[in-house]
């Protein structure tokens, strides 16, 4: 996800970027029940955690790279809202896993975002930066899906990565703030429809 300016509630704006990454990764593993799945089945749990981390980290790096290419100052950060919401959902998720041995039907996580500060902003800037994250997830999903066909012996590992990435893309393409889809659809409806259509086709092909 992507924002243009520092907000009042952003109490972690001076936290070093690498610490923001570490905290966000820990929260993300927890909210998706990664620690529970590792304990239950080490191999599947580790594959799932790796897939989630690949999707999340490269999604945010996509935002950061495009933002910097456009001349903006960009860094990954967390805020109070991210910590509270993601931490709370993580607690509920793990309680649900312990009681019912299955994940919550819907998980909403905001582990962090790329904070971009630009000398000026336009809908084109906002749309290009916002579309970078889901686009990276789509490319990873396509690449791992193709690799599944080439290396069938690694199909389980590759399928999980492919599926997790396309789900992350579709989630972030939901056109409601503060998700990427809201900013993309304000900028260019055709590009938003194209990204959603490609994502749905990939998801149906994987499953």
Q: Is 147 exposed, middle or buried (0-12, 13-18, 19+ CB in 10 A)?
A: middle
Please give the Cα distance from 115 to 132 (Å, whole number).
14
Given a contact cutoff of 8 angstroms between Cβ atoms, the answer to whether 130 and 169 are in contact is: no
- 153 classed as catalytic: no
Cβ contacts of 49 within 8 Å, gap of 6 or more: 29, 32, 34, 37, 38
**Residue 9 CA: distances (Å) to CA of 13, 82, 117:** 10, 10, 16
Given a contact cutoff of 8 angstroms between Cβ atoms, the answer to whether 86 and 27 are in contact is: yes
Q: What is the DSSP letter of 75?
A: E
Please give the Cα distance from 137 to 110 (Å, whole number).
17
Q: Which of 17, 60, 153, 163 is catalytic?
A: 60
Q: What is the DSSP letter of 174?
A: S
Which residues are catalytic, by number? Answer: 60
């Amino acid at each position: 996800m992507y924002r243009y300016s520092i907000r009042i509630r952003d109490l972690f704006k001076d936290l070093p970027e690498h610490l923001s990454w570490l905290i966000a990764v820990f929260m993300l593993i927890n909210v998706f029940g990664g620690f529970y799945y590792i304990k239950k089945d080490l191999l599947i749990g580790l594959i799932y955690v790796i897939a989630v981390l690949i999707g999340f980290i490269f999604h945010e790096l996509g935002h950061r790279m495009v933002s910097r290419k456009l001349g903006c100052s960009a860094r990954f950060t967390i805020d109070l809202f991210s910590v509270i919401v993601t931490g709370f959902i993580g607690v509920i998720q793990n309680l649900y896993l312990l009681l019912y041995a299955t994940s919550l039907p819907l998980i909403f996580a905001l582990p962090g975002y790329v904070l971009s500060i630009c000398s000026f902003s336009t809908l084109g800037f906002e749309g290009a930066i916002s579309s970078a994250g889901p686009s990276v997830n789509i490319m990873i999903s396509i690449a791992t899906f193709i690799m599944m066909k080439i290396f069938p012996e690694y199909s389980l590992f590759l399928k999980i990565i492919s599926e997790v990435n396309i789900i992350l893309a579709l989630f972030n393409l939901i056109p409601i703030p503060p998700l990427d889809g809201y900013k993309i659809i304000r900028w260019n409806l055709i590009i938003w429809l194209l990204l959603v259509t490609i994502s749905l086709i990939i998801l149906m092909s994987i499953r």
